[in-house]
Structure 1
Amino acid sequence: MDQSPRETAHGTPRGLAVTARGFGLRGPRGWAFRDVDVDAAPGSLIAVEGPSGSGRTCLLLALTGRMKPTEGVAEVGGLKPPRHMSALRRVSALANVPGVTDLEPALTVGEHLRERALLQRRFGDAPRALLRSRARRRAEAREAAEAALTAAGLDVPALPKGARTAVRDLERLEELRLSIALALMSGPRLLAVDDADHKLSGAERAEVWDLLGSLAASGTTVLAVCSEAPGGAVVVSTAGPAEPGTADGDGTAVGGTGQEGGTAEDDEVAAPGGTAEQGTPADDRATTRDDTPVTEDEEGAADALAETGRS
């Protein structure tokens, strides 16, 4: 019997279940978000809804192992942040996160795809993959890129210059589709998309939600930040009370702006796919709800380089 694309080789759902209770993150300037509850099955479309500045991006980063929570509990596919942040990064991917996965305007679509394939081969594949011939590795990279582009709905030949089209010449929706395609090349079980409906017309928003819904239907759990959630999604709101000036809904981390490939000042924000976590001040250590210090996540240099500022 053929294996369903919604399942892994062991017959379990490919996507990851996401649950959280009283989940929160506090930085030097106050709460980014707090008291967030999530209950989503594998393969769900989860819409993080709220106004700009309500901590939506911080929640997305916390649930994917890029930002260290300070309150409550969460579990993503059996992995619990902050203890399992490194493992969370290996099974999730980010798309369209300002300041973290920005595309380079001067590079072409083809150059972004080749760069992503090289990074995936260098940092994402299992060591035994290096034993394959160079021709086979190139063929697999082409197949992965083609599959990701198809899943993201980006028709490269239809672009003004095909694969040689520069990012600066893409429409907003095309750029979003490219960012999603690049994230899909790593085969994530959880895809996190920031600002999914930002600067899009009503018709374009409908296209994006159809796309994300189809990815969820194929088995990948999708976590999308938006200003207005679509029907049928698992809605998570960050619009609850929070101290002013704690987070920028456009991707600014608590305490400073997330820098490409690094951390925000005074924060525990990791570059996508890796972490460059700084030590937590003694008076602001990450704790559980009963004030028990959490275990620090040990990171390796390869983890920190698994993804770059360009997704």
Structure 2
Amino acid sequence: MESPHGAAVTAESLGMRGPRGWVFRNVTFSAEPGALVAVEGASGSGRTCLLLALTGRMRTTEGRAETGGLRLPKQAAAVRAIAALGPVPMVSELDPAFTVAEHLGERALLQGRYGASLRSLLRPRAERRAAATARVDEALEAAGLDIAALPKAGRTSVRDLERLEALRLSVALALIGKPRLLAVDDTDLKLSDAERDQAWALLRSVAAGGTTVLAVCSEAPEDALVVRTDAAAGDRAPGTDGRPTGATAETAPATDDPTTTITTDEETADAFAETGRS
């Protein structure tokens, strides 16, 4: 029997400690392939670090986690091969000077050169070009981005895109590689209520297509499996946070000790530095 395309994601008592204390701690949840997982919490509560840890890009310091059956952090390189990043500040941001077409062309070229099988590389150039075009068109459709509707079509610069359009472009770029897990940071940042609904509809459709979606947000939709990274989650009674039956998501209890809880963006940046990211 063929396994599902999406990657199951599990965490048990997962934690990450930085130079000034815990970035996040006691995160426990289980998500099936094709699930929509919302990582909810206040800015500076370790949401982005958890996202990067579960995609094999940061190293945790306690607990256990698996993505697609691959153990973290031991098999982080293999996880990176099946998990793609949408927009993540300082990690996978769009270049504002590039046009939409340039971004798509670059990603298709990289995918064709480094993500393709040896057999596909031996195909005639015209056939490879047609396959790359089809892959880009498929990703754009899945992301709901109509290039023809942009002010200058494919020649539109990223700096001229609306926030929701930029999100769709980032998702499309990630989907070109047909990942089993899509990770998106700051999903609802600077979006109106209507735009926020559209953003979640986009991610919901990606998940419905079989790709597991891990999305950082300040407020999760009711139908998502919710994982909280702030202390407030410890005060909620089980079953009141909108996550599906059988899922668990726990975070560390509140503490007054500033050496054990990271609460600012500056301290989160320190954790990036300790793990080798800037």
Distance, in Å, in 2 between the alignment partners of 1:105 and 1:160 is: 15
Gaps in structure 1 of 5+ consecutive residues: 1-9, 257-263, 271-311
Q: Tell whether 2:147 aligns with 1:156.
A: yes
Distance, in Å, in 1 between the alignment partners of 2:269 and 2:2 is: 40
Per-residue CA deviation, residues 261-296 of structure 1 (Å, 9 max, x unaligned), is xxx5332449xxxxxxxxxxxxxxxxxxxxxxxxxx
Residue 273 of structure 2 corresponds to 265
Residue 68 of structure 1 corresponds to 59
TM-score, length basis structure 1: 0.78
Return the letter of the residue paired with 2:194. Answer: A
Per-residue CA deviation, residues 94-140 of structure 1 (Å, 9 max, x unaligned), is 01100111111111000000000111112211233221111111111
Return the letter of the residue paired with 2:58. Answer: M
Q: Shift of residue 247 of structure 1?
A: 5.8
Correspondence list, 1:213-252, <5 A: 213-240=204-231, 241=254, 243-245=260-262, 248=265
Per-residue CA deviation, residues 123-177 of structure 1 (Å, 9 max, x unaligned), is 2112332211111111111111100000000010000010010101110100010
Residue 164 of structure 2 corresponds to 173
Residue 255 of structure 1 corresponds to 270
Q: 3-state SS of the aligned residue for 1:255?
A: helix
Distance, in Å, in 2 between the alignment partners of 1:46 and 1:269 is: 24
Q: Tell whether 2:51 aligns with 1:36.
A: no
Q: Shift of residue 29 of structure 1?
A: 2.1
Gaps in structure 2 of 5+ consecutive residues: 232-253
Residue 103 of structure 1 corresponds to 94
Question: Higher helix proportion, which one?
Answer: 2
Q: 3-state SS of the aligned residue for 1:113?
A: helix
Correspondence list, 1:1-311, <5 A: 11-240=2-231, 241=254, 243-245=260-262, 248=265, 253-255=268-270, 264-269=272-277
- Contact 2:6/2:180 (<8 A) preserved: yes
Q: 3-state SS of the aligned residue for 1:37?
A: strand
Distance, in Å, in 2 between the alignment partners of 1:188 and 1:116 is: 13
Distance 1:74 1:34, change over 3 A: same
Poorly superposed stretches of 4+, deviation over 6 Å: none
Give me the CA root mean square deviation: 1.7
Q: Shift of residue 253 of structure 1?
A: 4.9
Q: 3-state SS of the aligned residue for 1:39?
A: strand
- Contact 2:16/2:23 (<8 A) preserved: yes
Identity of aligned residues (%): 60
- Contact 2:262/2:268 (<8 A) preserved: no
- Contact 1:116/1:182 (<8 A) preserved: yes
Distance, in Å, in 2 between the alignment partners of 1:11 and 1:115 is: 32
Q: Shift of residue 182 of structure 1?
A: 0.2
Distance 1:66 1:246, change over 3 A: farther
Distance, in Å, in 2 between the alignment partners of 1:128 and 1:149 is: 25
- Contact 1:19/1:74 (<8 A) preserved: yes
- Contact 2:49/2:58 (<8 A) preserved: yes
Return the letter of the residue paired with 1:267. Answer: T
TM-score, length basis structure 2: 0.87
Return the letter of the residue paired with 1:266. Answer: E
Distance, in Å, in 1 between the alignment partners of 2:273 and 2:222 is: 37
Return the letter of the residue paired with 1:64. Answer: T
Distance, in Å, in 2 between the alignment partners of 1:51 and 1:161 is: 36
Distance, in Å, in 2 between the alignment partners of 1:213 and 1:254 is: 30
Please identify, of 88-97 and 128-137, the stretch whose mean Cα deviation from structure 2 is larger: 128-137
- Contact 2:44/2:268 (<8 A) preserved: no
Please identify, of 76-85 and 240-249, the stretch whose mean Cα deviation from structure 2 is larger: 240-249
Return the letter of the residue paired with 2:117. Answer: A
- Contact 1:27/1:246 (<8 A) preserved: no
Q: 3-state SS of the aligned residue for 2:92?
A: coil
Q: 3-state SS of the aligned residue for 1:150?
A: helix
